[in-house]
Amino acid sequence: MLMHEWLQKDDEPRSDAAQSAGYPFGFMDEGAKKEIRRSILKAVAIPGYQVPYGSREMPIARGWGTGGLQITLSMVKPDDILKVIDQGCDDSVNAVNIKKFVATVASVAITTDTRAATLIQTRHRIPEERMNDQQILVLQVPYPEALREVEPSEMETRRMHAEADYSRMWLYLYEDIVKYGEITISYRYPVTVNGRYITDPSPIPRWDVPKLHMADTLFLFGAGREKRIYAIPPHTSVEPLEFEDHKFRTENFFGKACARCGATDTFLDEVIDNAGGGRSFFCSDSGYCDKRSQAWNH
């Protein structure tokens, strides 16, 4: 049976079909999973350090979450409950595809509830609900190198990391403030992990950056195209780069509320009505919004 045929097949159990077609549990062979797990262990041991690994071919294109997917597949267990989100949303095409694929090759249960999930793969958001120490968040990363903005050479950025030579990154922020009066980085805001490495938190909004600091949860970052894995272990300090007189700020929605669930304490997406031209705001985290709306209606 071909891959796209299983994906279209909705009757259970699909994983049996995948395995009977000769694919191992979790799609990747044991050697590949072992290598990725070892890279993850190293990444956890050196918080914020980018560990190179042999990124495998996946049935989705590089740049579409293959780094996150490989971490997910190398760690998933049959009793895991998986949630996949794309920019906060459980139902976007990319999230649905990845969800279906993992469910097919690893026979895991799927959820949209952050609290119920044991393993969450995400693109560009961290869920609004605080995660606990039994959960793991896997982030997809397009550009793992936080210093790339100021230094194009990989060899040079590695040297800079090795020697903790970060004055050029700080200079970039200084120039931003001199030119515009504030730091203009809106997402991919560089952070110092465990007081050592400057790390790219993936393109999450600034809103989500404080959630990385001293969290209960393990955060794993996978960049498939760039072949890097790094991690922020639980209870690790994560400090956004800031100056004494120009502090890091998160986004401000000036009291706007979600048009669906009424939340005023979440990261909001602005939606423009094409017909009427009106603007409304909705929670970016669709799972959390659903939960709140249901509670509202009952």
Partner 1 sequence: MEPLIRIRGLSKRFGQGCSRCLDATGPEQDTNLCPHCGSVMACNDVSFDLFRNEALGVVGESGSGKSTLVRLLHFEWEASGGGMEMHRSAGLSNLPEMFTDGSNYSCNLLGLSHFQKRQLRNALMGIVYQNPHLGLRMQVSSGGNIAERLLGAGWRNIAKMRERSAELLERTEIPIERMDEPPCNFSGGMQQRVQIAKALSNNPLILFLDEVTTGLDLSVQARVLDMIRNLRSEFNLSMLVVSHDLGVINLLCQRTMVMKSGHVVESGLTDQILQDPQHRYTQLLVASQL
- Residues at the interface with partner 1 (CB under 8 A): 159, 162-165, 167-168, 170-171, 174-175, 177-179, 242-246
In 109-229, where does DSSP find H-type helix?
154-162, 167-180
Q: Which is closer to partner 1, CB of 148 or CB of 158?
A: 158
List the Cα angle 146/163/39 in 5-degree steps.
Answer: 60
Separation CA 152–CA 148 (nearest Å)? 5
Q: Which is closer to partner 1, CB of 177 or CB of 259?
A: 177
Separation CA 6–CA 188 (nearest Å)? 36
How near is the Cβ of 241 to partner 1 at its closest, in Å? 9
3-state secondary structure of 39: helix
How near is the Cβ of 239 to partner 1 at its closest, in Å? 11
The answer to whether the beta carbons of residues 26 and 105 sit under 8 Å apart is yes
Q: Which is closer to partner 1, CB of 162 or CB of 295?
A: 162
Separation CA 158–CA 154 (nearest Å)? 6
How near is the Cβ of 235 to partner 1 at its closest, in Å? 25
Separation CA 162–CA 157 (nearest Å)? 9
How near is the Cβ of 185 to partner 1 at its closest, in Å? 16
Active site positions, annotated? 48, 258, 261, 283, 289
Q: Which is closer to partner 1, CB of 167 or CB of 264?
A: 167
